[in-house]
Amino acid sequence: MKITTSYFKKAKEKGEKITMLTAYDYTTASLVDAAGIESILVGDSLGMTMLGYDSTLPVTMEDMIHHTKCVSRGAKNALVIADMPFMSYHISIEDSCINAGRLIKEGGAAAVKLEGGEEFAETIRAIVRCQIPVCGHIGLTPQSINAFGGFKVQGKTAEAARGLIKSAKTLEDAGVFAIVVEGVPAEIGGLISKSVSVPVIGIGAGKDCDGQVLVVQDMLGTFPGHKPKFVKQFASVGEVMTNAFKAYSDEVKNGSFPADEHTYKINDEEIKKLY
Ligand code: KIV
């Protein structure tokens, strides 16, 4: 069944948790989709996990479109949401609509996500008017690391938490179909989820959100970089990969790979003609 944004709304109404994982390539998207994960986020975290930058800030529209295309081809059922990269929705509303449209038309995404609160309400309204579903993203928004002074848990004072709840309500009013809430105390994740009728998808926001999202490399243990406290590693795929690479190297060096079963044949008559 193809998952749509109305599925998200119904899931929240029924109290069913929503699953989301990131993916940035066809193979991973196909596997995530086959596992029945309801939504795939082509996150701008690809700046770190795929491109090796130390933040999401250098990611371009062209990067996002390229990876979104790959994921869209692999996602048969999951709702594909593409991140709007830093500075693709900050300059003008016209620019923002054009860039959101490119992620849908060229990338094949079904929705876009952008970071920020009240300051982007008008932008969100305009994108939604273009019939493009928008997912909000508040809390620890990685595109704001320079403004935050680093990756810092948000909403830790009553005043800051009230601000996040207000932002969530403003985003709902602007027409988002869901909101990602990142890096806030669990109680605040729960309070935000209760404050709005659209689903809140948490990452480092506790168990009382309406759904959860993780970066696929983090949950598989394939990313060598920093592992935040909220990450649960569900498998040690990185270790499995490294062991496979070592085994391959050993077999190539000692000549046991390729073996007979990996080798094409030519009949002896034809070979004789060569000598
Ligand atoms: O870019 C990303 O992967 C994200 C998730 C961390 C929510 O925005």
Residues in contact with ligand 1 (CB, 6 Å cut-off): 22, 41, 43-45, 83, 137, 180, 182, 203, 213, 215
Structure pTM? 0.97
pLDDT at 67: 99
Nearest to 20 by CA among 229, 232, 238, 210: 210
Q: How many Cβ atoms sit within 10 Å of the Cβ of residue 157?
A: 9
Q: How far apart are CA 210 and CA 182, in angstroms?
A: 13
Residue 77 and residue 1 in contact, taking contact as beta carbons nearer than 8 Å: yes
Q: How many Cβ atoms sit within 10 Å of the Cβ of residue 114?
A: 25
Question: How far is ligand 1, taken at its centre, from the CA of residue 275, in Å?
Answer: 61
Task: Return the CATH architecture of domain 5-236.
Answer: Alpha-Beta Barrel (3.20)
pLDDT tens digits for range 140-189 = 999 999 999 888 999 999 999 999 999 999 999 999 999 999 999 999 99
Question: How far is ligand 1, taken at its centre, from the CA of residue 42, in Å?
Answer: 8
Residue in this structure with the two tokens 């000598």, named with its chain if needed: 275
Q: What is residue 99's three-state secondary structure?
A: helix
Q: What is the distance of C-alpha 233 from the center of its chain?
A: 16
CB neighbours of 231 closer than 8 A, spacing ≥ 6?
214, 215, 218, 219
Q: Each residue's pLDDT tens digit in the chain (275 positions)?
A: 999 999 999 999 999 999 999 999 999 999 999 999 999 999 999 999 999 999 999 999 999 999 999 999 999 999 999 999 999 999 999 999 999 999 999 999 999 999 999 999 999 999 999 999 999 999 999 999 999 988 899 999 999 999 999 999 999 999 999 999 999 999 999 999 999 999 999 999 999 999 999 999 999 999 998 889 999 999 999 999 999 999 999 999 999 999 999 999 999 999 999 99
User: Which structure tokens are listed for 123?
Assistant: 């932008």
Q: How many Cβ atoms sit within 10 Å of the Cβ of residue 256?
A: 9
Q: How far apart are the first and last CA of the chain?
A: 60
Considering the chain, tell me which residue range(s) the CATH 3.20.20.60 domain(s) occupy.
5-236
H helix runs in 175-215, sequence order = 186-195
Query: Burial letters for 59-79: b for 16+ Cβ neighbours within 10 Å, e otherwise?
Result: bebebbbbbbbbbbebbeebb
